[in-house]
Amino acid sequence: MYEFVYYKEYDYSKLSKIRWNKYKGKGQKGIYNNAIIMFDTETSKSGPVEYETVVKKDLYGNKYETLQAIPQTNYVVAFTLSVRFNEQNYCTLYGHKPSELMECINLLRLHMKGTLFLFCFNLAFDWIYLRRFFFRAFGEPKKQLCVKPHKPILFKFENDIVLKDAYILAGRNLAKWAEDMNVEHQKAVGAWDYDLIRDQTHEFTPEELRYIECDTLAGVECIEATIKTLHKNISSIPYTLTGIIRNEVRQVGEQNNAHDSFLRNVPSLETQIKLEKVYHGGYTHGNRYYYGEYLPNEIIKGDVTCLDFNSSYPFIMLAYKMPCSLYTELPGIYSISEIINDSKDYAFIFKFVAFGIDLKDFKSPMPYLQFSKCEVCINPVLDNGKIVSADYCEIYLTEYDLMILNDLYKFERHACVEVEYSAKHYLPRWYTDIVYQLYKDKCTLKNVDSVLYGIQKSKLNSLYGNCVTKPCRVTVEEEYDTGKYIEKEFDNISEYNKYRNKRTNVLLYQWGVHVTSIGAWNLFQLGKCVDYENGGRWVYSDTDSCYSNLWDMNKVKAYNERCEQMLRANGYEPIEYNGKTFVPGAATVDGVYSEFVYMGAKRYAGRDSETNKLKITVAGVPKKTGSKCLNDDIKNFKKGFCFSGSVTGKLTHSYIYVDDIYIDERGNEVGDSIDLNECNYILDQAKLFDFNDYIEVDEYEASNFRTT
């Protein structure tokens, strides 16, 4: 029954048999079609790439020349559209021109009842090429949803055609999604030559046809596998990966009257704003004594071992007590010791104000105070964005942040002001049971059910993200006539009231704020397990992992036993499966490197002791292809090294907008486009010290400040 055929040669009446259903959701009317449909396009440049010399600046402001591709027009040269229903692929239709794709969609519309959901993998890309053709065929969308500029999730047209992005649902590239979902059709990687210049009259080779066919077939099969596993339908499947677990948490929360508890404990708007100032991401840093502007990049020889926390954030949600009551203001000025002494029973948020900030031990490799989060900071000395010393600073913190500061820093004077506290309790049982079950699934399903394992793992990883979703978020809308994105204005008070009163909201933002602070605290506790007495060095940190050339494994064992005890204290046991014991939060070996070198946060390289292969992590450079650039010599990993775009496949893009659709000199239909070109990456070092022009600290009423 399945056909792979040119779109004009297909009998569309075969699709009229696909069932439709009535919407059941609140406020939804009409019917929707049950077909799973995905479309995709392939594009071509209009000519050979030409380059120009441009001048750029490195991290230190030094100028250098580099070649940069001149943006040029691109256009669609192929499209496919696959239709699947009830575990059966009906067809994959193909053509050349954007207008032909519109004609194909119209033919679907004529023969299929109800709203048609058309998925596209990475809608952000295809939308640019097709937007003017959609406008011409169907008018401008009556509804759009965009998370950020050039990141559309959904468009809905008057004729009930709905475009949805599948990439944000998958959370990985199509090849990996198809592999994880174990679907019949896998992406035909490498079968399409992206360097070949084609026109819309190009005759496809068998390899090209296989490539474009498999793209959308793999897509519809992945979507169906996801729908079945989640017990959803084509109209109710969440937009995003995080949306999958958000809906499930809300449903269980509703069964446990969680919104009532939410209403009792949700903070005021003023406190919420303070919480957002407190919130920070994971701690990522490198030991400043082994890299930098004035230091050689020392290649650390001998085994550098990475210890990685097992499901760090889920463990914290299972084992730690969180702020679970309404925040209460605590008037007055308080010292570090006063906050820490009450931290067992109460969670705190406050502004920390200090004069004369300095590390207790200047050799400490991991300063913690984050310059970018400071409300005010005078005369700082910075190490890759972290404060080594300063004359004065103001920053919002939790009690766990304060405990880290107390270990690392000394202060001439300090105060904790604007203090608010909340009673600490374990998170609600209905919620921690969800966390624990997902962790258990992650441990037991890996080699049993690849589809369910992939989904459950994604859910587990998304739990934390649901806790730190801002209640009042800036949204953007595309201006259809210009292609520009504008921020939508909103009233903070009105939006926050909507957030508080929405019946499905059951998670408190402060939980996520404390999870990150506790995660940093745990990282620094693991850092204390380095065997400093025998020459050990804390080499590098990245959110939930620590690197060192020498660990005191007795201390690591004690740390892991503490994790297990904390887990059991809340009534949860380690997972026993196939002779293995899985303890969330425990630190386990996640790589040993015979050579290791780094140049700052998210910029390091190491030679795997087991495989003897170089591995890299450089933000913005693909790991697998980027390591090839080093030619198996770790000495090449240094300031000024160029990761060639021709090797890494790293691309830069330019948006090209036109006034209207036109036909070029070769007969190609052309609309708006994106020009993708190989992009070199020049390796910079983290900037260690930032000696600003020193200024006098303003007079400050500090007579009541505590002295350290």
Name the phi and psi angles at 499, rounded to 5.
Answer: -60, -45
* Max intra-chain CA distance, the chain: 86
Name the phi and psi angles at 58, rounded to 5.
Answer: -85, -170
Q: pLDDT at residue 20 above 50?
A: yes
How far is 267 from 271, CA to CA, in rounded Å? 6
How far is 181 from 176, CA to CA, in rounded Å? 8
Supply the DSSP string of 284-311, one letter for each residue.
EEE-GGGSSTTS----EEEEEEEEEETT
- The amino acid at residue 664 is D
Q: What pLDDT does residue 216 have?
A: 97
Supply the DSSP string of 90-104, one letter for each residue.
EEEEEESSHHHHHHH
What kind and span of H or E run contains 539? strand 538-542
Question: With contact defined as beta carbons under 8 Å apart, do 162 and 119 qualify?
Answer: no
Question: With contact defined as beta carbons under 8 Å apart, do 31 and 130 qualify?
Answer: no
Question: With contact defined as beta carbons under 8 Å apart, do 519 and 316 qualify?
Answer: yes
Question: With contact defined as beta carbons under 8 Å apart, do 293 and 693 qualify?
Answer: no
Instruction: List the end-to-end C-alpha distance of the chain, in Å, as a whole number.
Output: 79
How far is 649 from 654, CA to CA, in rounded Å? 16
How far is 275 from 48, CA to CA, in rounded Å? 52
How far is 405 from 368, CA to CA, in rounded Å? 7
DSSP structural state of residue 635: G
Question: pLDDT category, 473, cuts 50, 70, 90?
Answer: confident
Q: What pLDDT does residue 60 have?
A: 62
Q: What pLDDT does residue 703 have?
A: 34
Mean pLDDT, the chain, rounded, equals: 90
Q: What pLDDT does residue 704 have?
A: 37
pLDDT tens for each residue of 189-248: 888 998 899 999 999 999 999 999 999 999 999 999 999 988 889 998 988 877 888 889
Residues 6+ positions from 159 with CB-CB distance below 8 Å = 109, 138
How far is 92 from 82, CA to CA, in rounded Å? 4
Closest CA relative to residue 483, chosen from 653, 674, 240: 674
pLDDT tens for each residue of 104-161: 999 999 999 999 999 999 999 999 999 999 999 999 999 999 988 999 999 999 999 9
Q: What pLDDT does residue 705 have?
A: 36
DSSP structural state of residue 698: P
Question: pLDDT category, 697, cuts 50, 70, 90?
Answer: very low
Tell me the three state secondary structure of residue 17: helix
How far is 246 from 469, CA to CA, in rounded Å? 11
Question: With contact defined as beta carbons under 8 Å apart, do 150 and 122 qualify?
Answer: no
- What angle (nearest 5°) sits at the alpha carbon of residue 357, between those of residues 276 and 379? 85
Q: 603-608 and 152-156: which strand pairing? A: unpaired
* CA distances (Å), origin 418, targets 322, 332, 631, 701: 20, 8, 55, 16
Question: With contact defined as beta carbons under 8 Å apart, do 124 and 150 qualify?
Answer: yes
Q: What pLDDT does residue 447 have?
A: 80
Question: With contact defined as beta carbons under 8 Å apart, do 92 and 82 qualify?
Answer: yes
What kind and span of H or E run contains 690? none
How far is 677 from 661, CA to CA, in rounded Å? 23
Q: Which residues on neighbouring strands pair with residue 426, listed in sequence order?
A: 321
Question: With contact defined as beta carbons under 8 Å apart, do 58 and 682 qualify?
Answer: yes
Contacts 24+ apart (CB under 8 A), 24-29: 25/235, 25/236, 28/235
Over residues 87-93, mean pLDDT: 97
Classify residue 481 as exposed, middle or buried by CB count within 10 Å of its CB (0-12, 13-18, 19+): exposed
Question: pLDDT category, 706, cuts 50, 70, 90?
Answer: very low
pLDDT tens for each residue of 426-441: 999 999 999 999 999 9
Q: 662-663 and 669-670: which strand pairing? A: antiparallel
Q: What pLDDT does residue 690 have?
A: 41
Tell me the three state secondary structure of residue 652: strand
Q: What pLDDT does residue 696 have?
A: 41
How far is 427 from 95, CA to CA, in rounded Å? 54
Over residues 682-693, mean pLDDT: 56
* CA distances (Å), origin 486, targets 127, 476, 491, 494, 653: 17, 5, 16, 20, 20
Over residues 281-301, mean pLDDT: 75
How far is 55 from 527, CA to CA, in rounded Å? 42
Number of H helices, E strands in the chain: 18, 37
Supply the DSSP string of 449-495, one letter for each residue.
-HHHHHHHHHHHHHHHHHHT--SS---EEE-TTT--EEEPP--HHHH
How far is 215 from 698, CA to CA, in rounded Å? 62
Tell me the three state secondary structure of residue 262: helix
Q: What pLDDT does residue 454 have?
A: 79
Question: What percent of the chain is helix, strand and coil (3-state, nearest 5)?
Answer: 35, 30, 35
Give the position of tokens 């948006």.
655
Give buried/exposed letters for 5-18 (b at 16+ CB in 10 A, else e): eebeebebeebeeb
Over residues 166-187, mean pLDDT: 91
What tokens appear for 479 in the block? Answer: 């201006």
Please report how the helices 553-569 and 509-527 are oriented relative to each other, as an axis angle in degrees rounded to 10.
Answer: 150
Q: What pLDDT does residue 619 have?
A: 83
More confident residue, 70 or 564: 564
Tell me the three state secondary structure of residue 431: helix
Residue 638 exposure: Cα atoms within 13 Å on the Cβ side: 11
More confident residue, 702 or 72: 72
* CA distances (Å), origin 625, targets 222, 576, 631: 27, 37, 11
Q: 328-330 and 409-426: which strand pairing? A: antiparallel
Question: With contact defined as beta carbons under 8 Å apart, do 460 and 634 qualify?
Answer: no
Residues 6+ positions from 440 with CB-CB distance below 8 Å = 575
Q: Kindly state the percentage of the chain with pLDDT values over 90.
A: 68
Conformation bin of residue 394: beta by default, left when phi > 0, alpha when psi is -120 to 50? beta
Question: pLDDT category, 691, cuts 50, 70, 90?
Answer: very low
- Asked which of 23-37, 393-407, 502-516 is least confident by mean pLDDT, the reply is 23-37
Question: With contact defined as beta carbons under 8 Å apart, do 358 and 409 qualify?
Answer: yes
- Asked which of 80-94, 458-472, 653-667 is least confident by mean pLDDT, the reply is 458-472
pLDDT tens for each residue of 608-637: 999 999 999 888 888 888 898 999 999 898
Q: pLDDT at residue 13 above 80?
A: yes
How far is 632 from 641, CA to CA, in rounded Å? 14
Over residues 655-680, mean pLDDT: 93
Q: pLDDT at residue 98 above 60?
A: yes
DSSP structural state of residue 692: P
Q: pLDDT at residue 509 above 80?
A: yes
Q: What pLDDT does residue 397 have?
A: 98
